[in-house]
Chains A and B, each alone.
Chain A
Amino acid sequence: KQEVTQIPAALSVPEGENLVLNCSFTDSAIYNLQWFRQDPGKGLTSLLLIQSSQREQTSGRLNASLDKSSGRSTLYIAASQPGDSATYLCAVYNFNKFYFGSGTKLNVKP
């Protein structure tokens, strides 16, 4: 069974800092990997989708990379802002299901 792990569980940084969130998965036979953002008490918002054949995707200040062979993905956030404070979840898709990590709770201090 696919297992997805995210490290760290929580992160607190000052505004303006660049940061990296990590996601690892046990089964490399994935179709894609998706990063989500969840604000407190809200649903999930899709940030980036990386197909299994891709190495990275970028959207604004966000860059996600995928190394399928090693079972790892990173989400890089440049020049962090207080509005980036949220929980970030990664999910991998295989066997017709999405498997979620437990998330990284990010706090960006003004």
Chain B
Amino acid sequence: SAVISQKPSRDICQRGTSLTIQCQVDSQVTMMFWYRQQPGQSLTLIATANQGSEATYESGFVIDKFPISRPNLTFSTLTVSNMSPEDSSIYLCSVEVGGGGTDTQYFGPGTRLTVL
């Protein structure tokens, strides 16, 4: 298993500013994921972050808007840049643990972002 913490847990930000969200895992993991969950919606994958390589972004998400760092095997950050009210969401990081068909995802508690 894995225990994941995120900071901040919530924030209220002004339009045009940027926020960096931190994700810390209690064990070394290869793959980390960043998701967005807009109000009343399911999870949408933003990007996959592997240590030592550039993050892989999903369709509709770009590095300039959501830059990601992955400096080591236990930590990652997601920045939401030049925010607008449409960026108001819960942002979740997760890790994949296991292999051989038992790949399991564990999630952090999420960061609730409100953009005014």
Interface residue ranges, A against B (CB under 8 Å) = 31-32, 34, 36, 41-46, 49, 51-53, 89, 91, 93, 96-98, 100-103
| A32 CB contact (under 8 Å) in B45, B102, B108 | B102
Q: CB distance A97 to B103 under 8 Å?
A: no
Which residue on A lies nearest to B93, using beta carbons?
Answer: A43
**A46-B104, A49-B102 known; A100 vs B43 contact (CB < 8 Å):** yes
**Complex contacts, A102 vs chain B, CB 8 Å:** 41-42
**Complex contacts, A44 vs chain B, CB 8 Å:** 43, 92, 94, 105, 107
Q: Interface centre among B45, B90, B101, B106, by most A CB within 10 Å?
A: B101
Interface residue ranges, B against A (CB under 8 Å) = 33, 41-43, 45, 48, 90, 92, 94, 96, 101-110, 112
Q: CB distance A34 to B42 under 8 Å?
A: no
* A72 → chain B closest CB, angstroms: 18
